[in-house]
Structure 1
């Protein structure tokens, strides 16, 4: 058995983080990249950019979260929280206790709509972090703008090129041109790539040669 890497729509879902130390703060920081629906329960904490209940954890607090992160730093407490979560059917992450986890946190790269998640299934978080740094170095600085532009072009390409193989080839050429130009591809150049892939360019060339 292992972990299946899938992207889950957390719209309308709340994360309950139990604990207020550095480990809990790190988990909150990662979650904040994707949602503001976070509740922290801790008697003392420096976490301040989400909802915080400044008191000791109570078992009834589990009703506040759709996902739970047990991050008190006290193994017995975190395991007790995880055990109760499992009894209630609430997915739980118990920090540094993989046997008590229903889900784990991968090493994450987030650049706008681009999300890259790297995991070694808990075997070597250090290698996951190293690999994340290596991937970050090869990402184009303009990747957010490039992906936004590719998203806008998808509809036009799909409309003009019904054949899947040619459409995929067009996407590859557009992406390569956008990356190669640092998102400096002009509208004229963009239209030329799409036109060539759709056959418009060939048709125009044939018409010109007939004159």
Structure 2
């Protein structure tokens, strides 16, 4: 057996903790203890203190700060010792003094000196789950905490109260109680039926993507290009194809990892090339149809999709996409210069929003409101502006404190159906133009889609957002200057 730890939940009302070290590590330990019990007694000894620790002291009379070096008498009348200095020799000496008095010790990043660990903790009302990797990988323990915090429903406290009342009122013996409780909680276990439905759902997304691809290629070949023409075109592939290949790859890589950036990156690039506005949005959505299908399928496979949220944003998003596409077709034909300005101004605002999103501070999870309206707005402006589904929907959901990987996965899968609706609308109204642009976007985006899905929640989000924002703002300003 490689892990001999025995998990114990400690009542800290009467416990007195001594922490030696008042830097970043000491601050983290104090925050962990106070989060579980704001009234726990803590004494901190250090030659200097982190400013946040000083602020914590102001609101907690049970926290005592002593500014000096550690002394042997500091461990008197203490129940637990946490060592948070970066001096290994000092840590070993302090531990020896504590062990001589029977005090249990935790030493930060020194598992061999520890009698106990402060594991990652999941709190959901009365439910508490402690996670430990035997001191080997605190990062993994943190990721597991984030996962369980997301999948365990907020209403679990109501279930616990109901089960507690049921247990108290049950008149049977222990075996009968256990049998009845097992039946009452059976719904919490995954069912085979749910697994079959999940497989059917993933299969449906994949099949729609393949069918549309076949339809797209078949229609294009039969209506616009003969086999002889195709051979001639392949011999003279224009340079724009390779440019769109790179644009499609980069845009989908960012979009798959962050849930935004594909449309605005492509649309601003294509505006500078002088492509007609309806053709810009139509080409982007036709190309994005394939990459978003692959990306959405990949996210579902990796477990990054919240089904309930998906339906709330996908259905209104489809309606909004059709409305936005029809409006752009009308304006793009009659008021081309004005529409160029509107689109460039819109993408400029999206770039600014991305910068705000990049520098946003971490906020607490909030209740989602008007999710259907959010989906409709995202679909409408995405179709009208050639992009914006991610910057509008993803950024709004993230601003409500939702976990990045689930937001990105859900929004990416919904985007598949939104782009399908927009592309069909453009497709039936305008046909297909700019084959090499579409093909370059398709190939580049399809290659990047699985990579982006795998990187969801792992890329440095701030850096990527600022890069996309910079490109979008520069391209938008250049387009506005070109119109003026």
Residue 51 of structure 1 and its aligned partner are, at CA, apart by: 2.0
SS of residue paired to 1:33: helix
More helix by share: 2
Residue 178 of structure 1 and its aligned partner are, at CA, apart by: 9.5
Q: Which has the higher contact order (CA 8 A, sep 6+)?
A: 2
Aligned equivalent of 1:30, options 29, 32, 38: 32
Aligned runs of 1:51-70 on 2, under 5 Å? Answer: 51-70=64-83
Residue 176 of structure 1 and its aligned partner are, at CA, apart by: 5.5
For the structure 1 residues 177 and 120, does the alpha-carbon distance in structure 2 shift closer, same or farther, using more than 3 Å as the test? closer
Residue 150 of structure 1 and its aligned partner are, at CA, apart by: 2.6
Q: Mean Cα displacement is larger for which, 145-154 or 115-124?
A: 145-154
Structure 2 match to 1:86: 99
Deviations 1:139-197 (A, max 9, x none): 0111223323332332112x3xx133332233234446799xxxxxxxxxxxxxxxxxx
1:8 aligns with 2:10: yes
Structure 2 match to 1:41: 45
Q: Is contact 1:93-1:100 (8 Å) kept? A: yes
Q: Mean Cα displacement is larger for which, 142-151 or 100-109?
A: 142-151
Structure 1 match to 2:180: 170
Q: For 1:148 and 1:39, how far apart are their aligned partners in 2?
A: 36
Q: Which runs of 5+ in 2 are unaligned?
A: 190-484
Q: Is contact 1:79-1:94 (8 Å) kept? A: no
Alignment: residue pair count: 176
Structure 2 match to 1:153: 166
Q: Is contact 1:16-1:67 (8 Å) kept? A: yes
Residue 112 of structure 1 and its aligned partner are, at CA, apart by: 2.5
Residue 61 of structure 1 and its aligned partner are, at CA, apart by: 0.4
SS of residue paired to 1:89: coil
Structure 1 match to 2:116: 103
Structure 2 match to 1:126: 139
Q: For 2:109 and 2:125, how far apart are their aligned partners in 1?
A: 29
Structure 2 match to 1:198: none
The higher radius of gyration belongs to 2
Structure 2 match to 1:139: 152
Q: Scaled by the length of structure 2, what TM-score is found?
A: 0.34
Residue 80 of structure 1 and its aligned partner are, at CA, apart by: 1.5
SS of residue paired to 1:32: helix
SS of residue paired to 2:36: coil
Q: Is contact 1:23-1:73 (8 Å) kept? A: no
Q: Is contact 2:46-2:67 (8 Å) kept? A: yes
Residue 81 of structure 1 and its aligned partner are, at CA, apart by: 1.0
More strand by share: 1
> What is the root-mean-square deviation of aligned Cα atoms in Å?
2.3
Q: Is contact 1:16-1:64 (8 Å) kept? A: no
Structure 1 match to 2:87: 74
Q: Is contact 2:124-2:154 (8 Å) kept? A: no
